[in-house]
Every structure is written in C-alpha cells, then in structure tokens.
Amino acid sequence: MFQIHCPHCGATREEEEFSYAGEAYIPRPANPEEATEAEWGDYLFMRKNTRGWFWEQWQHTAGCRKVFAVKRNTVSYEIAGTWTLAAGKELYLKESEA
Amino acid sequence: MANRYSLWSLLKNGLKHNESWQPAWRSPQAKPRYDVIIVGGGGHGLATAYYLAKNHGVKNVAVLEKGYLGGGNTARNTTIVRSNYLWDEAAQLYEHAMKLWEGLSLDLNFNVMFSQRGVMNLGHTLQDMRDIERRVNANNLNGIDGVVLSPKEIQDIVPLMDISAKTRYPVMGASYQPRGGVARHDAVAWGFARGASELGVDIIEQCEVIDMIIEDGRIKGVKTTKGDIFADRVGCVAAGNSTPLAKMAGVRLPLESHPLQAFVSESMKPCLDTVVMSNAVHGYVSQSDKGELVIGAGIDSYLGYGQRGSPHVIEHTAAAIIELFPSFSRVRMNRQWGGIVDVAPDACPIISKTKVKGLYFNCGWGTGGFKATPGSGYVFAHTIANDEAHPLNKAFALDRFNTGHLIDEHGAAGVAH
C-alpha cells in the first residue's frame, strides 16, 4: 500500500482511491496508415516492464478522475514524484535522452 | 548416486537410522560450455531440462538459478492443477500437462503428491452460468472432463459453502473438473531437479545471468555472476523477470510483471476436499494435506518486482472467501507471500523462438503457470531440441502479437486473473 499525490486535485490519498493505467508515454505510430504489423504489435502489446524506476500512469478514480504521470520504483515501490501528463512528459523525455 | 525411492529403500535406510540417504541432486561447478543453458531453476526450467535429457537425449545441459532452486513462483503459488480452458489451443496445451501430471510421481520416482480432488469454478450470475455451460461443452469436445453442477450438487460436495439466496452474490452453479486438483509445489521442483540431475543435467544455484553474449544475431552464451558460460542454445524460463532478460538480448516482450499474493491459514481438521474458485467474488481456496487453507485471488494492479503487494488486495481476497465460507471468518492466517507473475495481454503463455537465433523464451504464464509445469517443460524442450515448436505450442509463438492471432483466455476460461 502506498500513498499517491494527485497533481490535479492536490490531495495525497491511499492507493485504493486510484486505478493503475499502465506504462506512460507510449508513442502512437506517427503514420498509422503506413505502420507495419510489427510496428502495430510493438505499439499495442510490447511493454518496457522496467525493473527499477518506471514512468507510469494512474487515474484518480475515486477523486477527480483525472489521469496523471507517476515515477515509481518497481522494486522498492518508492514514488519519486507525480506530475500532470504534460509536465511529466518533459521530464520523461529529458531522462530518456540522458 | 541417487537413491531410488521405494518401500525397500525406506526400510533399509530406516534401519540405518536414516543416516545414509544421499543428496537428491548434484551441485556441480559450472563447466565453461554446454549444449543448452536453461536460465531459471523453477519448476518450468527444471522440467525443460529433464525432458531435454529424457526425450531428446540432450544431456549436456545447465540450469542456472540466481537464487535457490524452486525459490521463486514455484514456491509462491496456490498449487492448483486443472485443464478446463475454453479455446482449443490452450485446452490442448493444459490437458497435455494434465496427462503428464497423472503419471508424474511414477515417472520421476518422486512423490509430487498430485491429488485429483476436483476443481470447482463457481457461477454467480446468469452470464457466469452461460459461460460455464459453454466452457464445459467446449472442454468435453476437446476430450476434457467437466460437468455443470447445480447449487444442490455443489452443497453435496462442499457442505461448508453458503449457497443460500441471502448472500450478496448467490451461488447459481459451477463447473467441475473431477480430474483437477493440487500438487505439492516444492516436490515438483525437487522431483524434476533430481530426475534431471540423474540424467546428467548440471544445476547451478546462486548463479545470476547478467548479460547475453550474442554475435551476428546468434546466441553464444551468457555472462553470469560465476563467469561466462557458453552454449549455442539458451532457453529462458524466468517468469516475472523475463523482460529484463529479454532486454539483454534486445528482444521486446508483451509482458507486465505484477505481484500476485496468496496466504495460508493455521492447520485445521479436514473440512474442504476439493478446490473452490470464484471469478465473480474473486478468490480461490483449497486445503493442503497439512490442513492449511491455501487462499489466493487476483494480481495487484500495478507493475511490481518486489515480491510483495498491497494489503487491500488481501482484504478483498479474504472478504470473497468469507462470503463463500462464513465459517472461515475466525480462522487465523499463518503466512502471506507475493510472487511476480508475467502477464501477457491474452493471458496465454509465450513459448517461442526469438529473433536471436538459438535464444528461446518460455514466459507469460501469468497467474496460471504451476498447473502447466510438466507440459510447459515438455513442449519447450521440444522447441529447443528441434529449433521448432511442438504442435502444441505452435500457436503460442511471440509473433502472434504482430499477426493478431491472440488466444483470448483472459475473458474466456476459468482464468482467475
């Protein structure tokens, strides 16, 4: 059990108020008409499933119902921070470049 | 070296005060090169090594285990064995495993305590009952035993269950597979380890794979905490840790690793002689030979490698069990654990070659791998030995996620996920 801070309504609540919404920032094929089967398969099904620090999405289901980004360690379950999807994406992209 | 277990050996060793038993398997140093390396010393990995040696004559095999033998999900499950899956591909794969279970103790000369006490999947809504009818009919067409039970018939088998109409989700019926049951999980790992070791397989514990050696798209070996070990064929059977392994080889997998929790109670007198599962209230329970209630339910929703989950999942599981068995409400729980299960999008395993030649993956068993242990090893050994899928696992290749030929057991079978 952990507590999650919702960046939209500003509340820190127990995990049970939230729903898990999987890996964050999976890019959709830029040109869907021309994407191959392999590219579609990759987009739809393949996952990073990272062991360690991981960018993921949670939804505040029992609160404001908005989806946001969480950076969480999948081994220690420690949370580094939560951001709106837009704010988190900048950080995420900066990290992926590094 | 190995002892052959029999009434005679029990007697003989008993007379010697049980001081002359030999270890059940060897613990050798790793050789620099093998024909095949199996990464992961759980039930599936050990079964793979055993069948490689037994069915295919490939005996120069190493099983590398980062912890201790059978210390992962093999020791962290609820030991249920059944084969009542809806789709043909899955049904045939699990039924093949079921048939191996039925002769396994004899084959291994090791008592895996396989007990065919029946598995019951409860229905609580009209739609549940329609699905149950459909699944039982599909099972029967595939030659798998199964019947639909009325509440009255359920009560005859499980007198303790509350089937009254006053519960929140009244029990309307069930599917029942009499050949289903439970087996002793540790014994399965030990039995396969002993059998494989006897045939010449080296089991190397405390040996973690940290990288793969790949040249020109071909596997050459693995780097481990005990040095480099070479082999032209490597089979990975690492359950929840499959994705990190695949990443070393540049292979992407459609898996998410989640904690799956279960718990056992203190020992009690016999009160439940079958396995009861319910997808609707979501819980499953059986009683072990020691008398403990073994209870499990669904995965924690989030991705996690921590071998532990959140307490509210346990609470929901316990609530479901007490809904079915109000008399269990005062039972005290003894132990709780979490295993890391690798869930595929269609809740079906991946037993497949990869784009790296000589590298094979057996993963994605999700919450239901234990029941398939012998069958999984059998077809994976065939896949590795022949560099080609066995007819039973052809449909379970990795490329199904590109072609779209998924085997959607997620919404179909009695998969409690």
Under an 8 A CB cutoff, do B254 and A45 touch?
A: yes
Per residue in B282-304, pLDDT (tens digit) is 899 999 999 999 999 889 999 99
Q: What is the mean pLDDT of residues B32-54?
A: 98
Six-digit token string for A84: 């709106």
Over chain B, what is the mean pLDDT? 94
Q: What is the mean pLDDT of residues B403-407?
A: 91
| Residue with token string 């403990």 | B292
User: How many residues does this entry show for chain A?
Assistant: 98
pLDDT reading at B411 higher than 90: no
Question: A90 CA to chain B: closest CA distance, Å?
Answer: 23
A19 has a chain B CB within 8 A of its CB: yes
| Residue with token string 């060793």 | B13
Q: Which of A1, A49, A77 sits opposite B243 (nearest CB)?
A: A49
Q: How many domains does chain B have?
A: 1
Q: What is the pLDDT of residue B416?
A: 45
Model ipTM value: 0.95
Question: A32 CA to chain B: closest CA distance, Å?
Answer: 15
* Interface test mutation site (partner A, options B303, B352, B408, max chain A beta carbons within 10 A): B303
Under an 8 A CB cutoff, do B243 and A22 touch?
A: no
Q: Which of A1, A15, A47 sits opposite B256 (nearest CB)?
A: A47
What is the residue range of B130's domain?
Answer: 115-179+256-343
A78 has a chain B CB within 8 A of its CB: no
pLDDT reading at B311 higher than 50: yes
In a domain, B207, yes or no: no
Contacts of A53 in chain B (CB under 8 A): none
Contacts of A74 in chain B (CB under 8 A): 257, 303-306
Closest chain B residue by Cα to residue A39: B402
Q: Which residues contact A10 (CB under 8 A, 6 or more apart)?
A: none
Contacts of A41 in chain B (CB under 8 A): 254, 401-403
pLDDT reading at B414 higher than 50: no
Q: What is the mean pLDDT of residues B31-39?
A: 98
User: How many residues does this entry show for chain B?
Assistant: 417
Q: Which of B255, B301, B311 sits opposite A47 (nearest CB)?
A: B255
Distance CA B64, CA B205 (A): 6
- Intra-chain end-to-end CA distance of chain A, in Å: 31
Question: A17 CA to chain B: closest CA distance, Å?
Answer: 11
Q: Which of B182, B327, B188 is nearest to B269 (CA)?
A: B327
Contacts of B243 in chain A (CB under 8 A): 47-51
Closest chain A residue by Cα to residue B252: A46
In a domain, B246, yes or no: no
Distance CA B345, CA A25 (A): 18
Per residue in B160-174, pLDDT (tens digit) is 999 999 899 999 999
A3 has a chain B CB within 8 A of its CB: no
* pTM given for the model: 0.95
Distance CA B2, CA B23 (A): 7
Q: What is the mean pLDDT of residues B370-399?
A: 97
In a domain, B385, yes or no: no
Contacts of B301 in chain A (CB under 8 A): 19-20
b/e sequence B16-51, b meaning 16+ C-beta within 10 Å: eeeeeeeebbbeeebeeebebbbbbbbbbbbbbbbb
In a domain, B268, yes or no: yes
In a domain, B151, yes or no: yes
Per residue in B91-140, pLDDT (tens digit) is 999 999 999 999 999 999 999 999 999 999 999 999 999 999 999 999 99
In a domain, B376, yes or no: no
In a domain, B134, yes or no: yes
Q: What is the pLDDT of residue B413?
A: 47
Instruction: Give CA separation, A62 vs A17, A40, A81, B28, in Å.
Output: 5, 33, 20, 55
Closest chain A residue by Cα to residue B255: A47
Strands B147-149 and B227-230: unpaired
pLDDT reading at B384 higher than 80: yes
Count interface pairs A-B at CB distance under 8 A.
68
A75 has a chain B CB within 8 A of its CB: yes
Question: A19 CA to chain B: closest CA distance, Å?
Answer: 8
Three-class secondary structure assignment of A15-73: HHHCEEEEECCCCCCCCHHHCCHHHHHHHHCCCCCCCCEEEEEEECCCCCCCEEEEEEE
pLDDT reading at B388 higher than 70: yes
* Interface test mutation site (partner B, options A49, A50, A77, A82, max chain B beta carbons within 10 A): A49
Question: For the domain that residue B297 is a member of, what is the CATH number?
Answer: 3.30.9.10
Q: Which of A1, A19, A74 sits opposite B303 (nearest CB)?
A: A74
Ordered structural domains, chain A, with CATH:
3-31+38-97 (3.30.2270.10)
Q: What is the mean pLDDT of residues B173-183?
A: 97
Question: B401 CA to chain A: closest CA distance, Å?
Answer: 5
Contacts of A75 in chain B (CB under 8 A): 304-306
Under an 8 A CB cutoff, do B401 and A75 touch?
A: no
Q: What is the mean pLDDT of residues A71-89?
A: 97
Over chain A, what is the mean pLDDT? 96
Q: B-contacting residues of A 39-68, CB under 8 Å? A: 40-42, 44-51, 54, 56
CA dihedral A38, B385, B339, A96 (to 10 degrees): -40
Q: What is the pLDDT of residue A1?
A: 77
Question: B387 CA to chain A: closest CA distance, Å?
Answer: 22
b/e sequence A25-64, b meaning 16+ C-beta within 10 Å: eeeeeeeeeeeeeeeebbeebbbbbbbeebbbbbbbeeee
3-state SS, residue B13: helix
Cβ atoms of B295 and B416 within 8 Å: the answer is: no
Contacts of B401 in chain A (CB under 8 A): 41, 44-46
Q: What is the pLDDT of residue B408?
A: 83
In a domain, B130, yes or no: yes
A76 has a chain B CB within 8 A of its CB: yes
